Structure 1
Amino acid sequence: MTTQYSPKFYAIVPAAGVGSRMKADLPKQYLKLHDKTILEHTVERLLEHPCIDKVIIAISDGDEYFSDLPLASNDNVICVSGGSERADSVISGLDYLLYVAEKPDAWVLVHDAARPCFHLTDINNLIKEATATGSVGGILAAPVRDTMKRSDLSGSIDKTVERENLWHALTPQMFKVQPLYHALKGAKKAGIRITDEASAMEWKGCKPKLVAGRSDNIKITQPEDLALAAFYLGEISSLNKNGCNRI
């Protein structure tokens, strides 16, 4: 008689960057919105999802801020050493998971620290699509709406790029722990430039699923993004209070 069990889900949040484009005096993940840091909004939101067992946060070894947050004493939050590049931080989190993941089919959702405005319903859809039979995993993404231009070296328009079938890659990006670990390690060893987890899986010959996500799942990168993120977080809070955003 075989034992039936459900797959287990973890999340990794790379948070070792300094966010130089924000022009702030501290890393952008520690800037505050609605009396909480961006990192707190992101991680607490992930932990609200009933499928996510733990969140692994990769921070820099010289981080001076994380230990002062309530997250540091949360039993469902694990802190690991981050690296100089995103892929290094994700690999560090995966190293941890390879030792503690209790089930052979454990999945990991990798999510940007500076992307706090996601909706749990999008994670539901991602989990459903990424765990479908035959799927190697998937990412949240949004179809490109604007006219796309490619520039030449002087900064002038070289040509217009057809936007049909073009998508903005978002996060979370979800794959099984071991395949993603081997893809990231292999790509780095081969000197391949890895911009997100899906690109490592693509390098391995896989075709991750594109799962349509909400366009308000923005990444806070520039100073002007803060006001927009604050607005979206307020909208999410209102939906939660009115019981309109349950999963």
Structure 2
Amino acid sequence: MSPGASAVVVAAGLGRRLAAGLGPSAPRKALVSLRGHSLVAWSTWALARAEGIDEVVVVLHPDELAALPGSGLGAVLEAAGATAFVAGGERRQDSVRNGVQATRAEAERAVLVHDAARPLLDPADAARVLATARERGGAVLAVPMRDTTKRVDAEGRILETVPREVLWRAQTPQAAPRGKLLAALDAADRDGVTVTDEAAALERLGEAVFVVEGPESNFKVTTAEDLRAAERVLRERGGPPPPRPAGAAPP
């Protein structure tokens, strides 16, 4: 039997751009409904079904965590596969660190970090990232750049054409051994550096991180148009939605 792994779902962001397109009554981004289920429920369910993952920690906005006992959200996410909940921090990397710290305290245990705003994750892709991280030390789901890419100055003047063969667009999940990931996040915090993803934190310490080619469909829901696109993808895919406890309303 292969060793277990942990997943951290980052769902603590506000999602201002998405809220701007949905109206003032829109919930925080992770709780926005996609075909009757929240984005965080879709992401949690995908990771819970990935081969090798036996723990899913969901990082929520502190207000959502405080309201968890009476909101029904906890039961909904537990039905989708969540095993624990923690509060997010001021920055994304703070939320990630809180989530990683809540996983089983085994230094070599692989931990996958995934944005709740990528609800179309295929469990098989998460399993491929996990396998690569176990074999090579660090891994990130990514998409190769297919467009011609330019580097420009502050005025928009093109400085050079960057070979697209060496460029990839990083997605999530991103994975590494728990001990290395915490060390990288702690180092970034200690040095006053803000990193936009886990790979960047690991790179700063010289850790090797490898890309695992993923699908374009694993896009981040950032705008109302992205949400409509995600709905179209789910309609085309078919298949069952995340489970929900009996009598529970959509979160």
Report if TM-score (shorter chain) is over 0.5: yes
Contact 1:30 1:65 in 2 (8 A): no
Residue 49 (str. 1) matches residue 45 (str. 2): no
User: Residue 223 of structure 1 corresponds to which residue in structure 2?
Assistant: 224
- Where 1:7 maps in the other structure, the secondary structure is coil
1:68 aligns with 2:72: yes
Tell me how far apart the structure 1 counterparts of residues 128 and 77 of structure 2 sit (CA, whole Å): 30
Which one of 114, 120, 123 corresponds to residue 123 of structure 2? 120
Percent of aligned pairs sharing the same letter? 35
Query: Would you say 1:90 and 2:105 are equivalent positions?
Result: no
Q: Which amino acid aligns with 1:210?
A: V
Structure 2 match to 1:79: 85
Residue 33 of structure 1 corresponds to 34
Distance 1:142 1:105, change over 3 A: same
CA distance in 1, matches of 2:67, 2:51: 28
Alignment size in residue pairs: 231
What is the TM-score of this pair, normalised by structure 1? 0.85
| TM-superposed deviation, 1:72 | 4.9
- Deviation, structure 1 residue 159: 3.7
Taking CA–CA contacts closer than 8 Å with sequence separation of 6 or more, which of the two structures ends up with the larger relative contact order?
2
Q: Supply the distance in 2 between the matched residues of 1:7 and 1:110 (Cα, whole angstroms).
A: 18
State which of 10, 13, 16 in structure 2 corresponds to 1:20.
Answer: 16
- 2:63 aligns to what SS in structure 1? coil
- How many Å apart are 1:158 and its aligned residue? 4.2
Distance 1:72 1:119 in 2: 18
1:95 alignment partner AA: Q
Q: By how many angstroms is 1:160 displaced? A: 2.9
Equivalent residue in structure 2 for 1:10, among 6, 10, 20: 6
Q: Does the 8 Å contact 1:8/1:105 carry over to 2?
A: no
Aligned partner of residue 210 in structure 1, secondary structure: strand
Helix, strand or coil for the counterpart of 1:217? coil
Q: Report the CA distance between 1:113 and its aligned residue.
A: 0.6
User: Once the two structures are superposed, what CA deviation does each residue of 1:31-65 show, in whole Å capped at 9, x if it has no partner?
Assistant: 11111111111111211224211211111212277
2:82 & 2:90 partners in 1: Cα distance? 25
Alignment of 1:94-243 (within 5 A): 94-97=100-103, 100-101=104-105, 103-132=106-135, 135-238=136-239
| CA drift at 1:120 | 1.8
Deviation at 1:152, TM superposition (A): 2.6
Q: CA–CA distance in 2 between the matches of 1:212 and 1:42?
A: 19
1:21–1:54 CA distance, 2 compared to 1 (3 A): same
Q: What CA deviation, in whole Å up to 9, does each residue of 1:56-93 have, x standing for no partner?
A: 11112122775332335547431101011111011111
**Distance (whole Å) between structure 1 residues aligned to residue 16 and residue 53 of structure 2:** 30
Structure 2 unaligned segments of length 5 or more: list them: 242-251
Please give the alpha-carbon distance, in whole angstroms, between the structure 1 residues aligned to 2:3 and 2:223. 37
CA distance in 1, matches of 2:34, 2:77: 19
Deviations 1:90-121 (A, max 9, x none): 11112212xx34x5521111001100111122
Q: CA 1:177–1:147 in 2, change beyond 3 Å: closer, same or farther? A: same
RMSD, aligned α-carbons: 2.1
Q: Is the 8 A contact 1:16 1:84 kept in 2?
A: no
